[in-house]
Amino acid sequence: MKLNDFEQYVDEVIIARGRKYHQEKRVESLEKRPDDLYVAAVAGNDDYSVEVELDEQGVIVRAECNCPYTNGPYCKHMVAVFFALRQDDKENNTSKALKNTQKPTKALSVKKKPREQLISDLSSQSKEDLIHFLLNLAESDVIIAGQIRAEFGSSVSGEKEKWMQLLRSYIKKAQDRHGFIDYRSCRKVAEGAYKLVERAQTAVDEDDYQLAVDLALGVMGEIVDMLQFADDSAGDVGMIMNEVDQLLIMLTAAVQNGPESEACFVKILQEAGQVRYNGWPDLRISLLHHCAGLLDNDRQRQQLEAYLAKVCPADSRSYEAEEIALLQYAIIGNFDGREAAAEFLKEHRYFSRFRELAIQEAIAVKNYAGAEQLALEGQAQNKDLPGLVRKWQECLFEIYRQENHLDKMRQISRELALKGEFAYYKKLKALYEPTEWAQIYPDILTELAKRPGYMANTYTAAILEEREWDKLLAYVQKNPRQILDFYRQLLPEYSGQVYKLFEELILRDAAQSNQRSHYKNVCSNLRLLMKIGGSSMANDLIKHLSFEYMRRPAFREELQKLKS
């Protein structure tokens, strides 16, 4: 990946956290060394060292950080340095300097570390003075007081509660006098929650899995309760939930079977049972999946399955019921084997995802007749649900493709094409010889032209595929605004009609315009008309509009710009 597009290759949560670190100026020093190596110091819970090696094209050849994060190839500290490097590159035009390995660029010179200066200043103070200073800080800010208790409290057994008190202090400080938390203040709460998540990640690295679970579940519980009176429209709290979920995935993968694993299982199962999740089925299901990841013996399995039976909705075909059934299917597969799982799958094929899984398994073992029967049953069962009917038709197409059943492939792809699926129009075309297709497609275009307006994109895509320019012109004449999308294709053969359509569009838009943004849009279309060869018509229109709307100075001002 390159420095200018690394966001495409890094988890979005890590990107957000790294960007935040960069904006908070936590990249305290950034030094260029020989061989295009950059060394940075990033302030987090501790000072971390990041090394980034770039090649001459700005490709990130290597990136390393000495932080404990192990849940992916890139951590937030690396991402913060990526942003810093890119910013320096933009601000100081260092693209040429990146090729010079002999001397560092001005933008990447070593900066003095504020942390080192603080260490020096604090080291010179007496213990009593430092205690007095911290007490004053704690008395003036409840969050600082909570952070001091969390970091330095003497009771090991109460570490979870100390960190939870810190999070609650963030929540309390964020509330207005009515107890509500607006979206800006939600961001502050998220910052506090991140401190607990980071401590939990450290606990996983230290094999203190129970503390990690306690903190992760504590964050989730407090945040869910908070959302009853908060505005998370900015998505900061949602990102915290993603972090907690990733943390629990990391934990379930790391903890070994035994007492620790069982204790974590019990804690997560108990949290899933809390009434706070009654309105958050996705979160409850996520917790139950983490429980399933910790299953070690039949007793635990019985506990989990008893709970699943208890919380399964009365509506046995609801989304939540389907999610629970999928979880049961995974448990049966792990404990009872493939045959038992296949039987469970068969019994629950009224769920669309179970039916899809059953079809895939039948195809995998070349039981095409069985797969076809399942797909046809699905069509009949879901006849009033167009999305699912389309899914089963797509499954049928795949079955017939595997069987090389040409006639049935043609039938299904035609049906899907006429439902607006252009991909299947192209598949249908590929099933015919060119001379044969020339006799087939005109009828399909006629049928598509009769379809509702929302299928217009499929119709025009098919016209373009077949290069039927006369049909495209007829369509645009019925839908004049579409000239902006199709003038390029029509211009070579129908330039006069294209200019006329532009003229009609411009005059109609001008008549309906009443503010500067509308006038700019009209002038943009006039400019486009000039660009495609209609300068004479455009100039006549400018004169006409300037006279017609002489009492609209903003419009005349925008038109005047076209003359200059």
Helices 259-272 and 209-226, packing angle to 10 deg: 10
pLDDT in tens, 110-150: 444 566 677 777 777 777 777 767 777 656 655 565 556 55
Percent of the chain surpassing pLDDT 90:
61
Lowest-confidence segment of 27-36, 162-171, 382-391, 426-435 by average pLDDT: 27-36
Helices 483-490 and 456-466, packing angle to 10 deg: 10
pLDDT band at 526 (very low <50, low <70, confident <90, very high): very high
Beta bridge partners of 30: 40
pLDDT at 106 over 50: no
CA-closest candidate to residue 268, choices 237, 300, 312: 300
Cβ-proximal residues to 53 (8 Å cutoff; 6+ apart), any chain = 35, 36, 37, 38, 60, 61, 62, 63
Ramachandran angles phi, psi of 70, nearest 5°: -135, 15
Position 547 scores a pLDDT of 92
Residue with tokens 């005059």: 507
CA-closest candidate to residue 545, choices 501, 507, 499: 507
**What helix, strand, coil percent values describe the chain, rounded to 5?**
70, 5, 25
Position 143 scores a pLDDT of 57
pLDDT band at 304 (very low <50, low <70, confident <90, very high): very high
Per the CB < 8 A criterion, the answer to whether 17 and 74 are in contact is no
Q: How many angstroms separate the CA atoms of 433 and 426, rounded? A: 13
- What is the pLDDT averaged over residues 389-398? 96
- What is the pLDDT averaged over residues 443-469? 92
Per the CB < 8 A criterion, the answer to whether 380 and 394 are in contact is no
Q: How many angstroms separate the CA atoms of 341 and 228, rounded? A: 39
pLDDT in tens, 277-289: 988 989 999 999 9
Position 102 scores a pLDDT of 42
Four-point Cα dihedral 551, 557, 560, 562, nearest 10? -120
Ramachandran angles phi, psi of 494, nearest 5°: -135, 50
pLDDT in tens, 322-347: 999 999 999 999 999 989 999 999 89
Position 122 scores a pLDDT of 75
Percent of the chain surpassing pLDDT 70:
90
Q: What is the mean pLDDT of the chain?
A: 87
